């Protein structure tokens, strides 16, 4: 069966904007986040506290958070790779963070300048300190299906790293199909392998990129297996600066169209979201790749 309600983790301001060639002013990013919250989102990934040279697009994280008015009942998670990032986030009152691991060695090296083991060692004290302060910690796991340099990724590799992340105390696991190569059969198989090893389906989120047009089919498969948290990006913005051939995330509007048709609640207003994506497209100077935005945008 399908869930009655799905929580959308809106990653547009982070995964969406981290790859933009043209930097956006912090005030535009802040307005983007406020509009996403106004549309009904309750989880909006705001930015990253990473090294500013690695992701210059998000180097304004302090300024951006300083501009936000935090709404009651809304979570504003941020990416944090290490203790320096955690210090920066906690100083601003952040209550939700995400660490980001890789199932493959090549991407761990390119994204974090570490081996998989070294990156888990880096996350250990971050997760421990955050949990001690009752801060929630999502664990992203990238390259769960395929890697541009290493090819197909075996499910067992994903399971091994996932178990270590959850054993550390992470409160949620987001399975990243960073380059969008997954297909529904592989999604079902990976979810089966993870739950067989004791990871609760309620702790798993899915994070699909739409490179090969499979994101919605993969999402529906995950919902049929009991997943109730889905990552998506307004207007289908996105990509990853350190992953060759990663295109945009699943567009939140396309997800909403599917969920509404299935009678699944999200609390997010499609019309307001489309207006927001059209407004953002003007700032970025190109139209949204979302099919639903294209179909429903007003002339
Ligand atoms: P490193 O060069 O190994 O850093 O980078 P280091 O630990 O050797 O430190 C070097 C210097 O950087 C030090 O300064 C640190 O203080 C400073 P110095 O003492 O030399 O003056 N530094 C920092 N400054 C500010 N904030 C920090 C920070 N950390 C160190 N947090 C590092 C290692 C992890 C920092 C770097 O590799 C990095 O920032 N990587 C982030 C890459 C990234 O954000 N990628 C995109 C997100 S992942 C993604 O998109 C996938 C996802 O969407 C899911 C999916 O689709 O699969 C999540
Ligand atoms: Mg991503």
Among 87-96, 151-160, 179-188, 243-252, which stretch is predicted with the lowest mean pLDDT? 243-252
Mutate to test the pocket of ligand 1, among 51, 94, 177 (most ligand atoms within 8 A of CB): 51
- 49 to each of 89, 92, 98, 183, how far by Cα in Å? 7, 11, 10, 32
* Ligand 1: nearest atom to the Cα of 144: 57
pLDDT value of position 247: 82
Q: How far is the CA of 131 from the centre of ligand 2 (A)?
A: 24
pLDDT value of position 166: 98
pLDDT higher than threshold 90 for residue 4: yes
What mean pLDDT do residues 227-238 have?
A: 97
**Quick check: ipTM above 0.90?**
yes
Q: How far is the CA of 220 from the centre of ligand 1 (A)?
A: 33
**Is the full-model pTM beyond 0.90?**
yes
CA 70, 44, 199, 241 torsion: positive or negative?
A: negative
Ligand 1, residues at Cβ distance < 6 Å: 15, 18, 48-51, 54-55, 79, 81-82, 84-85, 88, 100, 111-113, 140, 142, 176, 178, 207, 240, 242
* Ligand 1: nearest atom to the Cα of 98: 58
Q: Whose CA is nearest to atom 22 of ligand 1?
A: 51
pLDDT digits (tens, 9 = 90+) for 115-162: 999 999 999 999 999 999 999 999 999 999 999 999 999 999 999 999
Residue 214, judged by CB atoms within 10 A of its CB (0-12, 13-18, 19+), counts as: buried
* Ligand 1: nearest atom to the Cα of 209: 56
For residues 109-143, one letter each, b for 16 or more C-beta atoms within 10 angstroms of the residue's C-beta and e for the rest, the string is bbbbebebeebbebbeebbeebeeeebebbbbbbb
pLDDT value of position 299: 63
Q: Mean pLDDT for the chain?
A: 96
Residues in the chain, overall count: 299
d(CA 234, CA 216): 14
Q: How far is the CA of 209 from the centre of ligand 2 (A)?
A: 7
What mean pLDDT do residues 245-266 have?
A: 94
Q: What single-letter DSSP state applies at residue 33?
A: H
Phi, psi of 75 (to 5 degrees): -105, 140
What mean pLDDT do residues 240-245 have?
A: 66
Confidence of residue 239 (pLDDT cuts 50, 70, 90): low
> Coil, strand or helix: which one is 219?
helix
Q: Whose CA is nearest to atom 53 of ligand 1?
A: 15
Q: How far is the CA of 2 from the centre of ligand 2 (A)?
A: 25
Mutate to test the pocket of ligand 1, among 46, 50, 232 (most ligand atoms within 8 A of CB): 50
Greater confidence, 98 or 299?
98
Q: How far is the CA of 207 from the centre of ligand 2 (A)?
A: 7
pLDDT digits (tens, 9 = 90+) for 18-72: 988 888 999 999 999 999 999 999 999 999 999 999 999 999 999 999 999 999 9
| Alpha-carbon 100 to chain mean position | 10
Confidence of residue 241 (pLDDT cuts 50, 70, 90): low
> Coil, strand or helix: which one is 79?
strand
Active site residues: 240
């Amino acid at each position: 069966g399908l869930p009655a309600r799905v929580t959308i983790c809106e990653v547009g301001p982070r995964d969406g904007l981290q790859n933009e060639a043209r930097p956006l002013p912090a005030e535009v990013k802040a307005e983007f986040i406020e509009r996403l919250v106004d549309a009904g989102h309750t989880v909006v990934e705001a930015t990253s506290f990473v090294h500013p040279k690695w992701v210059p697009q998000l180097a304004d994280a302090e300024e951006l958070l300083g501009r936000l008015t935090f709404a009651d009942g809304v979570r504003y998670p941020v990416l944090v790779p290490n203790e320096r990032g955690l210090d920066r986030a906690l100083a601003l009152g952040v209550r939700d963070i995400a660490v980001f691991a890789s199932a493959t060695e090549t991407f761990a090296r390119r994204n974090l300048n570490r081996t998989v083991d070294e990156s888990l060692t880096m996350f250990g004290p971050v997760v421990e300190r955050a949990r001690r302060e009752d801060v929630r910690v999502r664990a992203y796991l990238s390259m769960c299906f395929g890697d541009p340099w290493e090819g197909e990724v075996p499910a067992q590799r994903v399971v091994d790293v996932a178990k270590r992340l959850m054993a550390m105390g992470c409160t949620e696991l987001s399975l990243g199909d960073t380059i969008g190569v997954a297909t529904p059969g592989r999604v079902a198989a990976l979810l089966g392998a993870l739950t067989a090893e004791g990871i609760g389906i309620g702790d798993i989120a899915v994070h699909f990129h739409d490179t090969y047009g499979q994101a919605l089919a993969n999402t529906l498969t995950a919902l049929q297996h009991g997943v109730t948290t889905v990552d998506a990006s307004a207007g289908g913005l996105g990509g990853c600066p350190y992953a060759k051939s990663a295109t945009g995330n699943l567009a939140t509007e396309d997800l909403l169209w599917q969920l509404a048709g299935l009678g699944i609640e999200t609390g997010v207003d499609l019309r307001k979201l489309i207006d927001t994506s059209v407004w953002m497209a003007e700032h970025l100077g190109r139209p949204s790749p979302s099919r639903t935005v294209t179909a429903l945008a007003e002339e």
